Structure 1
């Protein structure tokens, strides 16, 4: 298994919370999601995940541009957004698995 590191800020912050792990394995996407983190905070979980996914898209955009894989951030983010919408509208695979409640 090839894994990537933990950001230094997360290592330094004792209140850091891991929200997602994502792998491509056995010809599919496999996720572990920390759903329920916002349960007792007054913040809607769906809203929080929407913001996190948007932030992740911007981080991916920055990485693609800084590594010379995309010429500019605006077109890269536009393509990410377009592909996300296509995948949401017509999934190329079914999301399967199970979700276990965790105690907060």
Structure 2
């Protein structure tokens, strides 16, 4: 079964990362056993010597850019309006940030 999941669900590494030795995967999300399973690369901005951005602001920008990519993909695959999709995702994000639907567990691992 695991082999079947790997073949069916593995997302390709974006082509824009080729040739960049500093490229890093920042977030990986799986739905499994009726729950969200998340792996995060925390500390990238905080640990960077030449970076003066707060790690929390950087994650906000990363998530905002991700929403833009989702809206673009939904426009291409479903024909949905990008701005309406962004607004809807943003409303849902704010709602669920204040009242999560699941339990947040796990530990920080270096």
Superposition TM-score, scaled by structure 2 size: 0.85
Shift of 1:13: 1.5
* Greater relative contact order, per chain length (Cα 8 Å cut-off, separation 6+): 1
Find the aligned partners of 1:69 and 1:93 in 2 and give their Cα distance: 30
Q: Do structure 1's residue 46 and structure 2's residue 56 form an aligned pair?
A: yes
> Any gaps of 5 or more consecutive residues in structure 1?
none
Find the aligned partners of 2:52 and 2:38 in 1 and give their Cα distance: 26
Match of 1:55 among 48, 61, 65: 65
How many residues align? The count is 100
Q: How far does the alpha carbon of each residue in 1:27-84 deviate from its partner, in whole angstroms, 9 at most, with x for none?
A: 11111100000123322110100000000001000000111252x1111111100110
> Any gaps of 5 or more consecutive residues in structure 2?
none
Aligned match of 1:98:
107
What RMSD, in angstroms, separates the aligned Cα atoms of the two structures?
1.2
Q: Do structure 1's residue 35 and structure 2's residue 71 form an aligned pair?
A: no
Superposition TM-score, scaled by structure 1 size: 0.89
Find the aligned partners of 2:79 and 2:91 in 1 and give their Cα distance: 18
Find the aligned partners of 1:42 and 1:61 in 2 and give their Cα distance: 29
